[in-house]
Chains A and B, each alone.
Chain A
Amino acid sequence: MSLLEVKNLHAEVAGGGRKILKGVNLSIEKGEIHAIMGKNGSGKSTLCQVLAGREVYTVTEGEVLFNGKDLLEQAPEERAREGLFLGFQYPVEIPGVSTSYFLKAAVNETRKHHGLPELDAMQFLKLVKEKMDLLHMDKSFMNRAINEGFSGGEKKRNEVFQMAVVSPLLGLLDETDSGLDIDALKTVSHGVNAIHQSDKDKAILLVTHYQRLLNYIVPDKVHVMIDGRIVKSGGKELALELEERGYDWVENEIAATA
Chain B
Amino acid sequence: MTTVLEPTNSFVTSFEKVDGHRAAWVNELRQRGMTAFCEAGFPTAKMEQWRDTNVSAIAQTHFVPAPTATGKAVLQLAKQYSFGDTAAAELVFINGHFDPHLSTTSALAKGIKVLSLEKAFETENVLLEKHLGKHARIEQHPFAALNTGFVHEGALVHIAKGAITEKPIHLLFLTIPGTEAAVSQPRVLVVAEENSESSIVETYAGTDGSVYYTNAVTEIIAERSARIDHNKLQQEGNMAYHTALMQVVLSERAAFVSHSTSIGSKLTRNDLAVFMGGEFAEATLNGLVLAKDEQHIDNHTFLQHEKANCPSHELYKHVLADKSSAVFNGKIYVQKDAQKTDAKQTTKSLLLTNEATMNSQPALEIYADDVKCTHGSTIGPVDPNAVFYLISRGLSVAQARHLMTYAFAADITRRIKVAPVRVRIEDFMTAQHGLPQDLRITDQARHDVAMQ
User: Could you list which residues of chain A lie within 8 angstroms of chain B, going by C-beta atoms?
Assistant: 52-55, 75-77, 79-81, 85-86, 88, 91-92, 94-98, 101-103, 105-107, 109-110, 113, 121, 145-146, 162, 166
The answer on a CB contact under 8 Å between A77 and B411 is no
The answer on a CB contact under 8 Å between B407 and A96 is yes
Contact of B390 among A75, A96, A102 (CB under 8 A): A102
The answer on a CB contact under 8 Å between A76 and B388 is yes
Residues of B within 8 A of A54 (CB): 388
**Separation of A24 and B278 alpha carbons in the complex (Å):** 70
Flag whether B49 is at the interface (Cβ < 8 A). no
- Given A54-B388, A92-B386, decide whether A97 and B403 contact each other with a Cβ distance below 8 A: yes
**Separation of A98 and B386 alpha carbons in the complex (Å):** 13
Among B384, B386, B395, B406, which residue has the most Cβ atoms of chain A within 10 A?
B395
The answer on a CB contact under 8 Å between A97 and B395 is no
Cβ-closest chain A residue relative to B439: A101
Among B388, B394, B395, B408, which residue has the most Cβ atoms of chain A within 10 A?
B394
Flag whether B397 is at the interface (Cβ < 8 A). yes
Residues of B within 8 A of A106 (CB): 393-395
Flag whether B385 is at the interface (Cβ < 8 A). yes
Cβ-closest chain B residue relative to A83: B394
Among A75, A86, A94, A98, which residue has the most Cβ atoms of chain B within 10 A?
A94
Contact of A81 among B389, B394, B411 (CB under 8 A): B394
The answer on a CB contact under 8 Å between B403 and A102 is yes
The answer on a CB contact under 8 Å between B389 and A110 is no
Among B391, B397, B411, which residue has the most Cβ atoms of chain A within 10 A?
B391
- Given A101-B439, A102-B390, decide whether A96 and B395 contact each other with a Cβ distance below 8 A: no
- Given A92-B385, A92-B386, A95-B411, decide whether A76 and B403 contact each other with a Cβ distance below 8 A: no
**Separation of A102 and B436 alpha carbons in the complex (Å):** 12
- Given A55-B388, A101-B439, decide whether A96 and B411 contact each other with a Cβ distance below 8 A: yes
**Separation of A121 and B408 alpha carbons in the complex (Å):** 25
Minimal beta-carbon separation of B266 from chain A (angstroms): 29
**Separation of A157 and B389 alpha carbons in the complex (Å):** 16
- Given A95-B407, A110-B394, decide whether A101 and B388 contact each other with a Cβ distance below 8 A: no
**Separation of A146 and B386 alpha carbons in the complex (Å):** 10
Minimal beta-carbon separation of B392 from chain A (angstroms): 5
Flag whether B366 is at the interface (Cβ < 8 A). no
Residues of B within 8 A of A94 (CB): 386, 389-390, 404, 407
The answer on a CB contact under 8 Å between B389 and A92 is yes
Q: Is the interface of B mostly helix, strand, loop or mixed?
A: helix
Contact of A80 among B391, B404, B406, B438 (CB under 8 A): B391
Cβ-closest chain A residue relative to B397: A77
**Separation of A7 and B101 alpha carbons in the complex (Å):** 77
Residues of B within 8 A of A145 (CB): 407
The answer on a CB contact under 8 Å between A105 and B399 is yes
The answer on a CB contact under 8 Å between A102 and B393 is yes
- Given A92-B386, A96-B408, decide whether A80 and B403 contact each other with a Cβ distance below 8 A: no
Could you tell me which residues of chain B, from 359 to 400, have a CB within 8 Å of some CB in chain A? 383-386, 388-397, 399
Minimal beta-carbon separation of B18 from chain A (angstroms): 49
User: Could you list which residues of chain B lie within 8 angstroms of chain A, going by C-beta atoms?
Assistant: 383-386, 388-397, 399, 403-404, 406-408, 410-411, 436, 438-439
Cβ-closest chain B residue relative to A53: B392
The answer on a CB contact under 8 Å between B395 and A77 is yes
**Separation of A166 and B390 alpha carbons in the complex (Å):** 13
Residues of B within 8 A of A97 (CB): 390, 403-404, 407
Cβ-closest chain A residue relative to B385: A92
**Separation of A55 and B392 alpha carbons in the complex (Å):** 11
Contact of B393 among A95, A96, A121, A166 (CB under 8 A): A166
Among B389, B397, B404, which residue has the most Cβ atoms of chain A within 10 A?
B389
Residues of A within 8 A of B392 (CB): 52-53, 76-77, 79-80, 86
- Given A94-B404, A95-B407, A102-B403, decide whether A162 and B393 contact each other with a Cβ distance below 8 A: yes
Residues of B within 8 A of A81 (CB): 394
- Given A95-B407, A101-B439, A102-B403, decide whether A76 and B389 contact each other with a Cβ distance below 8 A: no
**Separation of A13 and B404 alpha carbons in the complex (Å):** 26
**26 A-B pairs whose Cβ atoms sit less than 8 Å apart in the complex:** A53-B392, A55-B388, A76-B388, A77-B395, A80-B392, A91-B389, A92-B385, A94-B386, A94-B389, A96-B410, A96-B411, A97-B390, A97-B407, A101-B403, A101-B438, A101-B439, A102-B390, A102-B393, A102-B403, A105-B399, A105-B403, A106-B393, A109-B394, A109-B395, A109-B399, A110-B394
Among B392, B397, B404, B438, which residue has the most Cβ atoms of chain A within 10 A?
B392
**Separation of A177 and B300 alpha carbons in the complex (Å):** 50
The answer on a CB contact under 8 Å between B391 and A77 is yes
Contact of B395 among A55, A88, A102 (CB under 8 A): A102
The answer on a CB contact under 8 Å between B407 and A77 is no
Minimal beta-carbon separation of B42 from chain A (angstroms): 40
Among B391, B393, B399, which residue has the most Cβ atoms of chain A within 10 A?
B393
Cβ-closest chain B residue relative to A145: B407
**Separation of A98 and B399 alpha carbons in the complex (Å):** 14
Cβ-closest chain A residue relative to B396: A77
Cβ-closest chain A residue relative to B409: A96
Minimal beta-carbon separation of A31 from chain B (angstroms): 23
- Given A95-B407, A96-B411, A101-B438, decide whether A88 and B389 contact each other with a Cβ distance below 8 A: yes
Minimal beta-carbon separation of A93 from chain B (angstroms): 8
Residues of A within 8 A of B438 (CB): 101, 121
